[in-house]
């Protein structure tokens, strides 16, 4: 151990070893991993070792696919076997809803290049004969699943890292972290102190404690997890002998069970409803290579279903029950990246599926540290996605909810109840009193829609149009035909002040900054010219700007802003969060309504579209933007929370003569669809350039230099490869939710399919259960047909959509190859909704107010 390193990784579980390996592979060989005991002394050693590529977030799925692909390379490099068993796996659906879920997952897999296939219960049984197929309605096959040896794999990462020059120090605990004013970290260990430019927290079960060493409370909680191992089973041995292969892995959603072959018996694990946090406040340092006491009573309900569904397992003797803890973030995805507010403190923790995700996490983090950018869209894992509200207790409630629902369907209109309300605005009780169905928007209770008086304000969860449909439609129509009011406290808001504010914003943003009293819309790019933000900016005075953006990206953006702040103090940035709240009024009568609330001229010539003004509204000091996300004539009114009730009351009273209605987020999102407006995180993400995203009119390449300008200029010169499009979909009773594949008819040209077309329904097993295709299945191999004129191919994907109530059309937004993006012909596109391909047509001009006449007023 030297006295100084470029980076020190704390923790020698599978994640720390992967980070170490990837850093060394990227050229950072002056790196040290410190492990308090032996490698795999946290949760890694007793893992069940299963891996898979499927994930609700396609970007995380891609990193999982990378992890699985990596193992072969790792074995070759390290000379250490991972004991890889690429068996493939099936997910079993016991209900039509679950089958819809599988259809969605399968459809998503098409553009991810995955080889999943929908199969019958009998086909599933041919691969896993211990099941009773009568309990199931269908299944999905995924060839890229399997299991490995957790300890061997962790050591393979470590050996490969060492070969590349990285160092590992065992049996030495990090006890303290301090940072000098020049940014250097001092890592105090049991065996002395080390200096390092970068620190990486891969503390696993102790990541919270390692976070606390730097003053952080990371939203992580460890949960107990049980799996059992059976004695050898003759049925398993017979299957192996007859088919010459191992049984596949099986996931039974109903039983909340995963199961697979382990040696010549079976391994069966559960995600039980009656789950238990482990060490909820502090993880003892004394915890070693230990297991927790099994508690079969808690998992009995799952086992009962499991033994019914898999009678073959019911009679097997149980050899061992493993109960071990491992950590989760509130949404079940890892926490990765640099921590906002600290310099060079990195985390890679909360990784609940280290053997599916560890490689991808290591790659993303090492890219970030070495090249300043993760190189992928890692938003779904970014540590900044949780705000201050994600406290210890919040995390406890959410992680328990997430664990107990791991195998439950999450419907697109489903709001989960745990740890709510976390944050409320002063209007909360008024909104609830008006029968609002509330949703969670980055920890803030926000009205989604208003249920009729006398009915329960509750969503009927569904993949199809639901009980909100009619009422959201009414809110949209009443707003577009008259006037509506909605709460917009859930936007991010910042103030940028100082003599250098304008120059700094011009350096960060792609658009020119506005004149005083005016507003601009502007994307923000990273150095690679990819979209990392989309803002509304108003100039209040010479050295004061107000910025609005996406609520969920507040810490993500603050991290970027702070990183680029000049050190001379000429620019200051303040994040308001809920110290500034807002209301929006919109619709043709909104101008007349505002005129009643203020003492100044707000006619269209005096207060123009894209104007900003400070004025008293209903007697309260407010800032008013003449712009709204509805794309209609309208205003955003911002005030301190203490004034929100006053302004709301004034709006409702003055609006009564215009028949004002309250509308919620769902109506707002419906209205933006008919204007072709994108949303941050769905349409606009760091995988797209501004020209791909259709943001060209906000990119001024001829202004001063700005971050990402060169790459954006290149994108323009080369022409974007993809383009964001709006489509009208011939949907029946279910609209798109996001992530559906977009199919197009091939017209004598190769426009570079993004997914792969499969031969459907081809039998995978012969009558004797012999595998006809698995033996040749390797990751990424698939049966791609030679495309010919008139064939259909997956060419793109949906980012979001829904029903545009005013124009009465089902709409989608998504990305397709640029050469197809202007083709408004009928019969060219189809979008796969719940397994059915529905005709779709590109719609270039907004269906509502295409010329912007109404919006400008
Ligand atoms: C019963 C069970 C079954 C599982 N099954 C699977 C599965 O099938 N597939 C799958 O992908 N995942 C599975 N997991 C989860 C998997 O184990 C975790 O995702 C993975 O182990 C996380 O690895 P890690 O490196 O983040 O953390 P850990 O394995 O906890 O490693 C953290 C390491 O950091 C060290 N450390 C902490 N603080 C310090 C300090 N201050 N100084 C020095 N060293 C320190 C610890 O000693 C430890 O070795 C399972 C977990 C359990 C409990």
Question: Do 260 and 249 meet the contact criterion of CB atoms below 8 Å apart?
Answer: yes
Residue 800 pLDDT exceeds 90: yes
Q: In the numeric block, which tokens belong to residue 337?
A: 């990246």
Q: Give the C-alpha separation, 652 to 447, whole Å.
A: 16
Query: In 97-184, at which residue ranges do the beta strands (DSSP E only) sit?
Result: 117-119, 138-142, 146-147, 167-169, 174-179
CA angle 170, 156, 45 (to 5 degrees): 65
Buried b / exposed e along 740-761 (16+ C-beta atoms within 10 A): bbbbbebeeeebebbbbbbeee
Cβ count near 856 (within 10 Å): 13
Average pLDDT, the chain: 93
User: Whose CA is closest to 648, among 607, 617, 694?
Assistant: 617
Q: Whose CA is nearest to atom 50 of ligand 1?
A: 47
Please provide the DSSP assignment of 326-351 as one string.
EEE-TTSS-EEEEPTTSSSEEEEE--
Mean pLDDT along residues 35-54: 94
Residue linked to tokens 């460890």: 222
Give the whole-number percent of the chain exceeding pLDDT 70: 95
Q: φ, ψ for residue 811 (rounded to 5)?
A: -130, 155
Mean pLDDT along residues 84-93: 96
In the prediction, which pLDDT does 248 show?
96
Question: Do 352 and 328 meet the contact criterion of CB atoms below 8 Å apart?
Answer: yes
Ligand 1 in reach of 118 Cβ (< 6 A)? no
Give the whole-number percent of the chain exceeding pLDDT 90: 89
Ligand 1 in reach of 174 Cβ (< 6 A)? yes
Ligand 1 in reach of 299 Cβ (< 6 A)? no
In the prediction, which pLDDT does 763 show?
26
Where residue 196 falls among pLDDT bands split at 50, 70, 90?
Answer: very high
Give the distance (Å) from ligand 1 centre to CA of residue 40.
7
Question: Do 572 and 496 meet the contact criterion of CB atoms below 8 Å apart?
Answer: yes
Q: Give the C-alpha separation, 408 to 332, whole Å.
A: 13
In the prediction, which pLDDT does 155 show?
98
Give the distance (Å) from ligand 1 centre to CA of residue 301.
27
Q: In the numeric block, which tokens belong to residue 501?
A: 């504010």
Question: Do 770 and 763 meet the contact criterion of CB atoms below 8 Å apart?
Answer: no
Q: Which one-letter DSSP state was computed for residue 144?
A: S
Query: In 263-298, at which residue ranges do the beta strands (DSSP E only) sit?
Result: 265-270, 277-278
pLDDT in tens, 357-374: 999 999 999 999 999 999
User: Whose CA is closest to 352, among 64, 139, 709?
Assistant: 64
Question: Do 344 and 198 meet the contact criterion of CB atoms below 8 Å apart?
Answer: yes
Residue 764 pLDDT exceeds 60: no
Lowest mean pLDDT among 312-316, 420-424, 747-751: 747-751
Q: Whose CA is nearest to atom 31 of ligand 1?
A: 13
pLDDT in tens, 534-591: 999 999 999 999 999 999 999 999 999 999 999 999 999 999 999 999 999 999 999 9
Question: Do 729 and 736 meet the contact criterion of CB atoms below 8 Å apart?
Answer: yes
In the prediction, which pLDDT does 786 show?
58
- Helix (H) or strand (E) segment spanning residue 822: none
Ligand 1 in reach of 36 Cβ (< 6 A)? yes
Mean pLDDT along residues 695-715: 97
Ligand 1 in reach of 211 Cβ (< 6 A)? no
- Helix (H) or strand (E) segment spanning residue 172: none
Neighbouring residues of 613: CB distance < 8 A, sequence distance ≥ 6: 517, 607, 623, 624
Ligand 1 in reach of 362 Cβ (< 6 A)? no
Question: Do 709 and 788 meet the contact criterion of CB atoms below 8 Å apart?
Answer: no
Question: Do 124 and 286 meet the contact criterion of CB atoms below 8 Å apart?
Answer: no
Grouping H, G, I as helix, E, B as strand and the rest as coil, residue 65 is: helix
Where residue 775 falls among pLDDT bands split at 50, 70, 90?
Answer: very low
The two beta strands, 519-525 and 531-541, are antiparallel
Query: In 626-711, at which residue ranges do the beta strands (DSSP E only) sit?
Result: 634-639, 661-662
Residue 13 pLDDT exceeds 90: yes
User: Whose CA is closest to 177, among 164, 187, 189?
Assistant: 187
User: Whose CA is closest to 472, among 672, 677, 665?
Assistant: 665
Instruction: Give the C-alpha distances (Å, rounded to integers) separating 3 from 42, 166, 178.
Output: 26, 15, 15
Question: Do 575 and 549 meet the contact criterion of CB atoms below 8 Å apart?
Answer: no
Cβ count near 188 (within 10 Å): 15
Model confidence, pTM: 0.94
Ligand 1 in reach of 15 Cβ (< 6 A)? yes
Mean pLDDT along residues 720-741: 96
Where residue 790 falls among pLDDT bands split at 50, 70, 90?
Answer: confident
Mutate to test the pocket of ligand 1, among 8, 32, 40, 43 (most ligand atoms within 8 A of CB): 43
Give the distance (Å) from ligand 1 centre to CA of residue 422.
30
Angle between helices 150-163 and 58-78 (to 10 degrees): 70
Question: Do 847 and 841 meet the contact criterion of CB atoms below 8 Å apart?
Answer: no
Mean pLDDT along residues 837-856: 96
In the prediction, which pLDDT does 777 show?
27
Question: Do 124 and 227 meet the contact criterion of CB atoms below 8 Å apart?
Answer: no
Q: Give the C-alpha separation, 520 to 536, whole Å.
A: 6
% helix / strand / coil in the chain, to the nearest 5?
A: 30, 30, 45
Buried b / exposed e along 569-585 (16+ C-beta atoms within 10 A): eebebebbbbebbbbbb
Mutate to test the pocket of ligand 1, among 1, 46, 48 (most ligand atoms within 8 A of CB): 48
User: Whose CA is closest to 695, among 505, 498, 531, 502?
Assistant: 531
Residue 789 pLDDT exceeds 90: no
Q: φ, ψ for residue 182 (rounded to 5)?
A: -80, 5
Half-sphere exposure of 339 (CA within 13 A, CB side): 23
- Helix (H) or strand (E) segment spanning residue 192: strand 192-201
Ligand 1 in reach of 352 Cβ (< 6 A)? yes
Q: Give the C-alpha separation, 383 to 794, whole Å.
A: 33
Mean pLDDT along residues 97-103: 93
Q: What is the 3-state secondary structure (H, E, C) of 687-725?
A: CCCCCCCCCHHHCCCCCCCCCCHHHHHHHHHHCCCEEEE
Ligand 1 in reach of 331 Cβ (< 6 A)? no
Ligand 1 in reach of 18 Cβ (< 6 A)? no
Lowest mean pLDDT among 78-87, 369-378, 836-845: 369-378
pLDDT in tens, 470-528: 999 999 999 999 999 999 999 999 999 999 999 999 999 999 999 999 999 999 999 99
Q: φ, ψ for residue 538 (rounded to 5)?
A: -115, 140
In the prediction, which pLDDT does 109 show?
84
In the prediction, which pLDDT does 113 show?
77
Neighbouring residues of 241: CB distance < 8 A, sequence distance ≥ 6: none
Cβ count near 224 (within 10 Å): 20
Q: Give the C-alpha separation, 94 to 91, whole Å.
A: 10
> What is the Rg, in whole angstroms, of the alpha carbon atoms belonging to the chain?
28
Residue 15 pLDDT exceeds 80: yes
Q: Which one-letter DSSP state was computed for residue 765?
A: B
């Amino acid at each position: 151990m030297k006295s100084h390193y470029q980076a020190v990784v704390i923790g020698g579980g599978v994640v720390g070893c992967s980070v170490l390996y990837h850093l060394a592979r990227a050229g950072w060989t002056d790196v040290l991993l410190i492990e308090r005991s032996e490698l795999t002394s946290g949760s890694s050693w007793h893992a069940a070792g299963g891996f898979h590529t499927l994930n609700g977030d396609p970007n995380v799925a891609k990193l999982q696919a990378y992890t699985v692909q990596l193992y072969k390379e790792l074995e070759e490099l390290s000379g250490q076997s991972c004991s890889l068993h690429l068996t493939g796996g099936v997910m079993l659906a016991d209900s039509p809803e679950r089958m819809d879920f599988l259809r969605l997952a399968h459809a998503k897999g098409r553009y991810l290049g995955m080889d999943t296939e929908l199969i019958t219960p009998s086909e599933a049984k041919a691969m896993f004969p211990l099941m009773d197929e009568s309990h199931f309605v269908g299944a999905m096959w995924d060839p890229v699943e399997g299991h490995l040896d957790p300890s061997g794999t962790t050591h393979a990462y470590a050996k490969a890292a060492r070969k590349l020059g990285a160092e590992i120090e065992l049996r030495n605990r990090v006890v303290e972290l301090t940072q000098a004013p020049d940014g250097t970290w001092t890592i105090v260990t049991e065996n002395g102190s080390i200096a390092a430019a970068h620190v990486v927290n891969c503390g696993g079960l102790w990541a919270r404690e390692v976070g606390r060493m730097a003053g952080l409370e990371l939203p992580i909680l460890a949960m107990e997890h049980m799996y059992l191992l059976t004695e050898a089973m003759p049925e398993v041995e017979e299957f192996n002998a007859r088919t010459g292969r191992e049984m596949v892995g099986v996931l039974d959603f109903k039983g909340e069970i995963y199961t697979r072959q382990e040696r010549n018996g079976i391994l069966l694990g559960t995600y039980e409803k009656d789950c238990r946090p482990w060490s909820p406040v502090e993880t003892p340092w004394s915890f070693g290579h230990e297991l927790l006491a099994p508690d079969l009573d808690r998992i009995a309900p799952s086992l009962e279903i499991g033994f019914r569904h898999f009678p073959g397992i019911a009679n097997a003797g149980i050899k061992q029950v493993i109960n071990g803890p491992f950590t989760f973030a509130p949404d079940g995805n890892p926490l990765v990246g640099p921590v906002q507010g600290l310099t060079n403190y990195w985390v890679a923790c909360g990784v609940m599926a280290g053997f599916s995700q560890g490689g991808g996490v290591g790659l993303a983090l090492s890219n970030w540290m070495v090249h300043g950018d993760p190189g992928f869209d890692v938003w779904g894992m970014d540590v900044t996605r949780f705000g201050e509200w994600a406290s210890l207790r919040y995390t406890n409630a959410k992680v328990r909810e997430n664990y107990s629902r791991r195998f439950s369907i999450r419907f697109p209109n489903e709001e989960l109840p745990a740890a709510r309300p976390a944050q409320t605005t002063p209007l909360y009780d008024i909104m609830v009193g008006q029968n609002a169905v509330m949703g969670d928007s980055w920890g803030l209770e926000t009205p989604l829609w208003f249920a009729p008086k006398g009915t329960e304000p509750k969503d009927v969860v569904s993949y199809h149009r639901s009980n909100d449909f009619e009422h959201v439609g009414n809110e949209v129509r009443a707003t577009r035909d008259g006037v509506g009011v909605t709460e917009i406290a859930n936007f991010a808001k910042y103030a940028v002040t100082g003599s250098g504010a304008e120059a700094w914003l011009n350096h960060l943003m792609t658009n020119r900054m506005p004149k005083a009293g005016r507003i601009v819309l502007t994307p923000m790019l990273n150095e690679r010219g990819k979209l990392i933000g989309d803002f509304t900016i108003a100039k209040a005075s010479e050295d004061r700007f107000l910025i609005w953006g996406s609520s969920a990206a507040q810490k993500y953006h603050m991290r970027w802003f702070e990183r680029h702040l000049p050190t001379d103090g000429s620019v200051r940035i303040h994040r308001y969060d809920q110290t500034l709240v807002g209301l929006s009024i919109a619709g043709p009568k909104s101008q007349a309504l505002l005129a009643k609330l203020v003492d100044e001229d707000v006619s269209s010539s005096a207060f123009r579209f894209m104007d900003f003004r400070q004025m008293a509204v209903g007697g309260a000091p407010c800032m008013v933007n003449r712009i709204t996300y509805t794309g209609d004539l309208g205003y955003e009114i911002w005030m301190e929370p203490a004034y929100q009730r006053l302004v709301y009351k004034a709006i409702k009273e003055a609006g009564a003569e215009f028949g004002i209605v309250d509308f919620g987020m769902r109506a707002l999102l419906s209205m933006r669809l008919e204007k072709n407006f994108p949303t941050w995180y769905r349409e606009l993400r760091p995988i797209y350039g501004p020209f791909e995203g259709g943001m060209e009119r906000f990119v001024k390449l001829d202004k001063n230099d700005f971050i990402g300008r060169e790459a954006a200029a290149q994108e323009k010169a080369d022409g974007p490869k993809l383009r964001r499009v709006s489509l009208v979909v011939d949907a029946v009773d279910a609209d798109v939710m996001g992530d559906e594949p977009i199919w197009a008819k091939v017209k004598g040209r190769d426009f570079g399919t993004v997914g792969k077309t499969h031969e459907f329904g081809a039998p995978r097993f012969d009558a004797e259960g012999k595998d006809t295709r698995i033996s040749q299945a390797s990751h990424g191999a698939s049966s791609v047909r030679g495309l010919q004129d008139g064939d259909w191919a997956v060419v793109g994907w949906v980012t979001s959509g829904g029903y545009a109530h005013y124009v009465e059309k089902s709409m989608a937004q998504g990305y397709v190859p640029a050469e197809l993006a202007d083709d408004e012909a009928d019969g060219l596109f189809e979008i796969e909704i719940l397994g059915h391909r529905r005709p779709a047509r590109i719609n270039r001009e907004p269906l509502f107010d295409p010329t912007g006449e109404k919006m400008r007023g």
